[in-house]
Amino acid sequence: MLQFFSKYKYFGIVLLVLSAIIISVMYQALSPKKVLPVYQPDDVATELVDSTVQYVRKYHTIAPFSLTNQNGETITEAHYEGKIYVADFFFTTCQTICPIMTDHMAKIQKELQNDSEVLLLSHTVTPEIDTVAQLKRYAQKKGVNDAKWNLVTGDKKQIYDLARKSYLAAKDVPYSEYDLIHTENFVLVDRQKRIRGFYDGTDPEAIDALLEDIAILKQEE
């Protein structure tokens, strides 16, 4: 009996290895691959969406824009062409959620510092205060990498429209023209300018989830 097992020992080992490989391949084939949703205005809470686009159910993308960054450079949608990016809304004098959000953006910047496929974009909601010079001081204080992360200011109506009609990430201020209350949302945008996720920019676990979803999005496209 011992001689029998000894004779076929190597055959058994090979068979076990092959079986393990086959089972692994079958498991991967049968396991559903995570795909991020494509968000439309109709999917988002109405308080965050301008009434003109609330019932849009398909083909929503980020609208063209032209804003000015911390270095006085004009930044348009062309700067993000073919890129995945994370967008948010903030203001430099905010003492509540903004510092936390900015620190978390800095974490994303650090994690993806060598990844040229992913960029960051932060819009001020108080452009009358956040001039180019103010944004530059803030960027230097927060360790912003100019090649990776744009802090932008510009026309208030344009920023208002971007927040509520494109990124779906801010609440309207009743009875005040082109004023808004930004949320803590980080918005993940894909290479086709579509929204693929919303994340609480004050929650460390949500930031980890965002980084994981960026990796998924890179594989998808």
Query: How would residue 165 be classed by pLDDT, with cut points 50, 70 and 90?
Result: very high
Burial 54-91 (b: 16+ CB within 10 A, else e): beeeeebebeebebbbbeeeebeeebbeeebbbbbbbb
Please report the pLDDT score of residue 14 as a whole number.
47
Q: Is the pLDDT assigned to residue 119 strictly greater than 60?
A: yes
Tens of pLDDT along 36-90? 999 999 999 999 999 999 999 999 999 999 999 999 999 999 999 999 999 999 9
- pLDDT of 214 higher than 90: yes
pLDDT score recorded for residue 29: 44
Query: For residues 108 and 201, is the Cβ–Cβ distance under 8 A?
Result: no
Please provide the average confidence, as pLDDT, over all residues in the chain: 89
Whether the CB-CB separation of 116 and 85 falls below 8 Å is answered with no
Mean pLDDT of 2-13: 50
Q: Which residues are CB-neighbours of 178 under 8 A, at least 6 positions away?
A: 156, 157, 160
Both structure tokens of 88 = 């948010």
- What is the value of pTM for the model shown? 0.84
Residue 3 has pLDDT above 60, yes or no: no
* Residue 4 pLDDT: 46
